[in-house]
Amino acid sequence: MTLNTNEYFNVKGGKPLEGKIKLAGAKNAATKMLVASLLTKDECVLDNFPNIGDTEIAVELCRILGSEIKISGSTVTIQTKEIKNTKVEALSRRNRIPILALGPLLTRVGEAEVPVVGGDKIGARPVDLHIDSLKMMGAEIEVVNDTYRARAPQGLKGTEISLKYPSVGATEQIIMSAVMAKGRTILRNSAIEPEIIDLIKLLQKMGAIIELGTNRVISIFGVPELHGAKHKILSDRNEAVSFASLAVATSGRIFVEGASQDHLITFLNNLRRIGGEYEVEENGIWFWRAKKLEGIKVETDTHPGFMTDWQQPFVVLLTQSDGASVVHETVYEDRFGYTKDLNLMGANIRVVKECLGDLPCRFKDSLSAHSAIIYGPTKLKGQELTVPDLRAGIAHLIAALVAEGESTIRGIHEIDRGYENIDERLRSLGAEIKRIS
């Protein structure tokens, strides 16, 4: 897939979408697994690998570092016999994956230089927890000209780390840095997202010793060496939620092949509470609208809570629900920008600074508008839209498919970062969507 920032979608909405759609492998696991493979000289094979913008960036990153990579359909084979380069300079696009290469590079060769990170435009997104944890494990890190320059002349060593917030990226950074560190690492208040558990499963297959304790405690016993492994990447639960929301929002009926109930429990409960329905089968889940939709109060949280990446498709659904709904975003402080576009389409959403929820929230006294009140149901009309970031992009797309009339959606490379062949797959459900270059 080559990046074409001029491409746009033309969407004609307003009809129920029906049929079957197969989930791709999880973006948030695939990218990290490529980075984890840097820890061994041997070959790693990943099945169910999604061909999306973010995995392309991770592939480019690993190639710069010395990996040989073959992609055949949805299988990727990666081998890094030797780290040929410890400095990641110009990547053609940016995301937050390069920061994760710090641990594996320090482990393999004792030095690393990666760019200060980009990623979605959703708030400050600091990496202090990554940097502080690596320093606690013996790394020396400085920021020089927009890059993190890291060294670990004595190698990394196990230690006790207590995260002030269960960050997904920091948890992954610590695990990948600890698997071959000297001694034992005890990580408290870790994130426990399914994609992290899947990364742990890959690392275990590679020879790592990682214990999952109660209360978000992960213990890692450093081993001298890791070897190659073969792993099937778990399905993308964010895709699952997007297609489930699409089924219910368009009053259609969609079978999401590969959707796993285990990873969607909180979403399924909330979907049923507003009037959506589902039936779990062995290889996936059917979704449809059971009755007139009702409003709800939802708070985003770390796993097993309602994921922050689910709120955007869910908010589109809530524009079709009767009464007022409230969404309190506690993971990112600035993730409601896209609601302005939904309002242009006819939605009635107000974003406020107050914490409209009960969860402890780091943004309580900040000036961030991190709660949304959605009044519905509202009729949506087609609009000209520009996607600001990946998850906002899927909200635009679902809204355009619900809306009467025609929409133009620009900036769709953001959607391509996380969704494989989205237009083609949506057409198979009856969607009228054209990709125009």
Query: What is the set of active-site residues?
Result: 120
In the set 49, 267, 288, 332, which binds ligand UD1 (CB under 6 A)?
332
The reply on whether position 125 binds ligand UD1 by CB under 6 A is yes
Shortest reach from residue 163's CB to ligand UD1, in Å: 9
Shortest reach from residue 41's CB to ligand UD1, in Å: 26
Report cis status (omega within 30 of 0) of the bond before 377: yes
Q: Give the span between the Cα atoms of 353 and 355, in whole angstroms.
A: 7
In the set 308, 343, 386, 408, which binds ligand UD1 (CB under 6 A)?
308
Q: Quick count: other Cβ atoms within 10 Å of Cβ 109?
A: 16
Nearer to ligand UD1, 64 or 361 (CB): 361
The reply on whether position 129 binds ligand UD1 by CB under 6 A is yes
Q: Give the span between the Cα atoms of 119 and 127, in whole angstroms.
A: 12
Shortest reach from residue 330's CB to ligand UD1, in Å: 9
Question: What amino acid occupies position 180?
Answer: M
The reply on whether position 121 binds ligand UD1 by CB under 6 A is no
In the set 137, 150, 181, 331, which binds ligand UD1 (CB under 6 A)?
331
Q: Give the span between the Cα atoms of 259 and 22, in whole angstroms.
A: 8
Q: Give the span between the Cα atoms of 48 and 30, in whole angstroms.
A: 9
Shortest reach from residue 218's CB to ligand UD1, in Å: 15
Q: Candidates 149-157, 258-266, 304-312, 374-382 — which segment interacts with ligand UD1 by CB under 6 A?
A: 304-312
In the set 39, 46, 170, 374, which binds ligand UD1 (CB under 6 A)?
170
Q: Candidates 161-169, 254-262, 371-379, 419-427 — which segment interacts with ligand UD1 by CB under 6 A?
A: 161-169
> Residue 123: left if φ>0, alpha if ψ -120 to 50, beta else—which one?
left
Q: Candidates 82-90, 123-131, 150-158, 265-273 — which segment interacts with ligand UD1 by CB under 6 A?
A: 123-131
Non-local (6+) Cβ contacts of 9 within 8 A are 397, 400, 407, 408, 409, 412, 423, 433, 434, 435, 436
Shortest reach from residue 94's CB to ligand UD1, in Å: 12
Nearer to ligand UD1, 165 or 436 (CB): 165
The reply on whether position 304 binds ligand UD1 by CB under 6 A is no
Shortest reach from residue 148's CB to ligand UD1, in Å: 12
Q: Candidates 127-135, 143-151, 207-215, 312-320 — which segment interacts with ligand UD1 by CB under 6 A?
A: 127-135
Q: Quick count: other Cβ atoms within 10 Å of Cβ 388?
A: 18
Question: Would strands 184-188 and 160-162 be described as parallel, antiparallel, or unpaired?
Answer: parallel
Q: Which residues contribute to the site for ligand UD1 (CB under 6 A)?
A: 28, 31, 96, 125-130, 165, 167-170, 191, 307-309, 331-332
